[in-house]
Amino acid sequence: MRWGMVIDLAKCTRCHACVAACRIEHFLPLRVTWPRLIALETDNGYDVDVSTYPVRCNQCKDAPCVDACPTQASYKREDGIVAIDHDKCFGCRYCVIACPYQNRTYLSRKRNPNYFPEHAQTRFEKMGKKLYPHQVGTTEKCNFCHERIDAGREKDLKPGIDRDATPACVNTCQPRALTFGDLDDPNSNVSKLIREKSGFVLHSEYGTEPSVYYIDYKLGGNPSNKAPVEAQTGSHIQHLSTVYAPSKPKLAKKNAD
């Protein structure tokens, strides 16, 4: 098992919701962000490309940060996630330099002011100190929400399929540009996408074997606009369990608009 993510560059809208969801999920300090968006905008004279690359820790198979860590604070979990033991990290920042993708952040005091620096901590921040403490003087990065994965799997939930076992950024993405799943399973959503849409990794020449893949294509050109049966019945909108069943609309009533 090796958890991975496929990021759809055609669908990403640069909306930043993934960043916002991550900040809440991990009570991130004010000046720390785990995922980032990198804009790539080019005009070669006849063709314009406006792209957004969402990036985060690649959870590399051959992770230079793990190799560089003198205290084994950075380590590789059996499911492929690169994790950090903050009690072992003593802030040498070798890993920050070792990561060729620049996806690690050293949490300095400067990065950790109150959300409103001139004011007292908010209730959310105070609760964060208890629920998800951050240690100033250590290094941080995206952890694929392994807390969610672990808690979910204890309940027999499937990461990438069940929300409560899936990273927060994947859940919140409005264009559904993020897909999460098991790279070792050839039938998983991620494996299929990589195969069918020619998934690629960023800077493969670094040779670190990232677990974050990208796909890109032109929108449009879909062969059929026919709606599947489940869409026609209305159940295309997922999970209507909380919906109060409406009585039949009164069709004779004119719209007074």
Partner 1 sequence: MANREVVYSTCKSCHGGCGVKVTKEDGVVVHIEGNPDSLTGGTMCSKGLSSIQHIDNPYRLKYPMKQVGKKGEGKWERISWDEALDTIADKMKAAIKDYGPHTIAISQGTGRGYNRYTMRLARSLGTGNAITPGYVCHSPRLGLYALVTGYGRLYCDYHGWGGEFPKTQIMWAKQLEISSADSEMCYWYMRSLDYVKNLIIIDPRASAYATRANLWIQPRPGTDCALALGMMNVIYEEELWDKEFVDNWTFGFEELRERVKDFTPEKVSDICWIPKEHVIEAARMWAIDTPGTIQVGSSLERQANCGHTLRAITCLMGLAGNIERPGSMVSWVLPDTGLIEDFNLELPITDEMKSKIIGGDRFKMGATRTCNPDTMVKRLLAGDAPIKVWFSVGGQQIVHMANTKEVVAAIERVEFMSHTDLFMGPMAEAADIVLPAAHWLELDDVYDMHPRFMIEAHNKVIEPPGEAMSDAWIFNEIGKRVVPDKWWDTVEDMLDYQIRRGEGPDGGPLKWKDFSEKLVSGCWGPDQVYYKYKTDFWREGGGFPTPSGKFEFKSNHLESLGYDPLPVYAEPGESPVSTPDLFKEYPLVMSSGYRQPFYFLGQYRNIPWLRSFMEFPTCQLHPETAKLYGVEDGDIVWIEGPRGRIRQKLRTFPGIKRGVLMATANCFYPEEPAKGYHGVFISNPNVLTSNDHLDPMYGSPDLTCLLCKVYKAKDEELKEEVFRNEEYGFVPPHSQEDM
Q: Minimal distance in Å, beta carbon 164 to partner 1? A: 10
Nearer to partner 1, 78 or 249 (CB): 249
Cβ contacts of residue 54 below 8 Å, gap of 6+?
A: 7, 12, 18, 35, 36, 37, 38, 177, 178
Scored b (16 or more CB within 10 A) or e, 71-84 reads: eebbbbbebbbbbb
In the bound state with partner 1, the residue whose beta carbon lies nearer, of 184 and 189, is 189
Q: How far is the CB of 80 from partner 1 (least distance, A)?
A: 22
- Minimum Å distance from CB 147 to partner 1? 12
| Separation between Cα atoms, residue 75 and residue 48, nearest integer Å | 41
The nearest distance, CB 19 to partner 1, in angstroms, is 7
Q: Which helix (H) or strand (E) holds 130?
A: helix 123-131
Q: How far apart are the first and last CA of the chain?
A: 56
Whose Cβ is closer to partner 1: residue 1's or residue 240's? 240
Q: Least distance from C-beta 232 to partner 1, angstroms?
A: 5
Residue 205 vs 252, nearer CB to partner 1: 252
DSSP class of 254: P
As measured in angstroms, the least distance from the Cβ of 142 to partner 1 is 10
CA 248 to CA 211: how far, in whole Å? 49
Spatial neighbors of 141 by CB under 8 A, at least 6 apart, are: 34, 56, 57, 82, 84, 99, 103, 104, 105
CB of 100 to partner 1, least distance (A): 11
Question: What are the structure tokens assigned to 136, written together?
Answer: 């100033």
Q: With 0-12 CB in 10 A as exposed, 13-18 as middle and 19+ as buried, what is 149?
A: buried
Between 120 and 205, whose beta carbon lies closer to partner 1?
120
Please say which residue, 78 or 156, places its beta carbon nearer to partner 1: 156
Question: What is the DSSP secondary structure assignment for residue 56, as one 8-state letter?
Answer: -
**Tally of CB atoms within 10 A around 52:** 18
CB nearer to partner 1: give 33 or 191: 33
